[in-house]
Amino acid sequence: MKQGLHPLITTLIASLLVCSAFNAVAGPRVAHKNADEVVLPEDSPQEASLRIETVTEMVAPTAEPFNGKISFDENFTSRISSPILGRATKLHAQIGDTVKAGQALVSIDSPDLGGAIADYRKAMADLELKRKALERSRMLLDGGVIAHKDFESSEADMAQSQAEATRTKSRLKNLNMDSNSTAGAETFTLKAPMAGVIVDRQINVGNEVRPDANTPLFIITNPSHLWATIDLPERDLSKISLGQPILIQVDAYQNESFTGRIQSIGTMVDPVTRRIQVRCSVDSKNKLKPEMYARITPLNNRNQKAIRIPNSALITEGLYSYVFVETSPGHLKKRRVTLDVQEREYATVKAGLAAGEKLVVSGAILLNSELSAGK
């Protein structure tokens, strides 16, 4: 009950202010055909203060909205760190840039890279030497000049050199260096592993970079793929299920809703907060941004329909709720409705309204004031 009190008070204050303006508008007074009906004369200036919309149905919610937020979809996000020790010498990309896979991000001066290249070149030279020694040993063994154990020793030396050459080549491959074009340079270029947008950068020219750093140097993500996460209270676990459709609302787009589905439910409850992490997919329409706070409403899995109206359309009198419905042009009738779930901005109607009817969604309180004054 406390959750719905604040928006209703806000709506009441706003409507009373509009009511003053409504009563100040010059023009003919409204007529009252019945005790629960207001009739506005044709081209009445008071009608401009009202907003009337057609009632539509939506999938019924199964619970009140949960607090959540928008986050990166980790399947389309890469956190990039340097695999080598060095110092940044040149930046090739900035926050907000769209990059392609393999595009340069930053150049790093790294003596370790020079050492890795030198190790590879030495390993290849030693491998060639041991290969020639093995060929000579095979010829001498065939001529009966050396013992078989001497040939086996040459084979072992060859195997060790082969292993070292493979190790140094793999090291260069991990650094995205071409082993066929190593020229002893000590400049390492950190490249984007995937296409996307750079949303974070934690490096400047002159900064030292380390492979064991706690924070990534760059974060690249595909902004069209996002998650919505819920810190679900333990008591509400029975109200959700995998694959269940959800409705997402954010403060940035108060008159717009986004859809999604529950993808995963945490396997354990946080022992401190007594909450469970729930991850949902979301159709962001390229409007939502990571770290936005959201209100996430689970919907009925069986696609049962319900009527959802803004709280600004409601009038509360005692224990009952009322709305104004336009029965014909200029004729506005007060009608009692039964609510199912009331959220911060919207309420779900259980009975009293039908899809397709025209509802006063703004100005209902001033109509009710006018109706009361005419009694």
pLDDT in tens, 186-203: 788 899 999 999 999 999
**Which phi and psi (to 5°) does residue 75 adopt?**
-75, -15
**Which phi and psi (to 5°) does residue 88 adopt?**
-70, 130
Q: What angle do CA 327, 332, 334 make, to 5 degrees?
A: 100
CA–CA distances in Å: residue 47 to residues 62, 77, 309, 334:
36, 51, 20, 16
What does the alpha-carbon distance between residue 64 and residue 368 come to, in Å, rounded to a whole number? 28
- Beta strand ranges found along 10-156 (DSSP E): 37-39, 51-54, 57-59, 66-72, 77-80, 86-91, 98-99, 104-109
To the nearest whole percent, how much of the chain has pLDDT over 70?
87
262 in Cβ contact with 311 (< 8 Å): no
Return the pLDDT at 180. 59
Specify the CATH superfamily of domain 66-73+225-298.
Answer: Efflux pump adaptor protein, beta barrel domain (2.40.30.170)
Q: Which residues contact 210 (CB under 8 A, 6 or more apart)?
A: 82, 85
CA–CA distances in Å: residue 28 to residues 112, 237, 249, 374:
87, 56, 41, 14
> Beta strands 226-233 and 245-249: pairing type?
unpaired
> What CATH code is assigned to 76-109+186-223?
2.40.50.100
Q: Quick one: tokens of 182?
A: 């190593």
More confident residue, 222 or 116: 222
Nearest to 111 by CA among 208, 234, 179: 208
pLDDT of 268 > 80? The answer is yes
Least confident of 15-29, 159-173, 349-363: 15-29
Nearest to 360 by CA among 319, 318, 310, 320: 310
Residue 175's pLDDT band, with cuts at 50, 70 and 90, is: confident
Return the pLDDT at 13. 55
What does the alpha-carbon distance between residue 233 and residue 215 come to, in Å, rounded to a whole number? 30
Least confident of 28-32, 239-243, 281-285: 28-32
Orientation of helix 364-373 relative to helix 2-24, angle to 10°: 60
Q: Specify which residues 91 forms β-bridges with.
A: 106
What does the alpha-carbon distance between residue 241 and residue 239 come to, in Å, rounded to a whole number? 7
Domain(s) labelled CATH 2.40.420.20 in the chain stretch across 2-60+305-373
325 in Cβ contact with 332 (< 8 Å): yes
Q: Which CATH number fits domain 111-185: 3.40.50.620, 3.40.640.10, 3.40.50.300, 1.10.287.470?
A: 1.10.287.470
**Which phi and psi (to 5°) does residue 159 adopt?**
-65, -40
How far is C-alpha 184 from the geometric centre of its chain's CA atoms?
44
86 in Cβ contact with 213 (< 8 Å): no
User: What average pLDDT does range 236-243 have in this prediction?
Assistant: 90
Residue 30's pLDDT band, with cuts at 50, 70 and 90, is: low
Return the pLDDT at 10. 55
Domain(s) labelled CATH 2.40.30.170 in the chain stretch across 66-73+225-298
93 in Cβ contact with 197 (< 8 Å): no
Q: Which CATH number fits domain 2-60+305-373: 2.40.420.20, 3.40.50.720, 2.60.40.420, 2.30.33.40?
A: 2.40.420.20
Q: For the chain, where are the alpha helices, taking DSSP H only? A: 2-24, 111-142, 148-174, 364-373
What does the alpha-carbon distance between residue 158 and residue 132 come to, in Å, rounded to a whole number? 9
CA–CA distances in Å: residue 248 to residues 266, 349, 372:
20, 19, 38
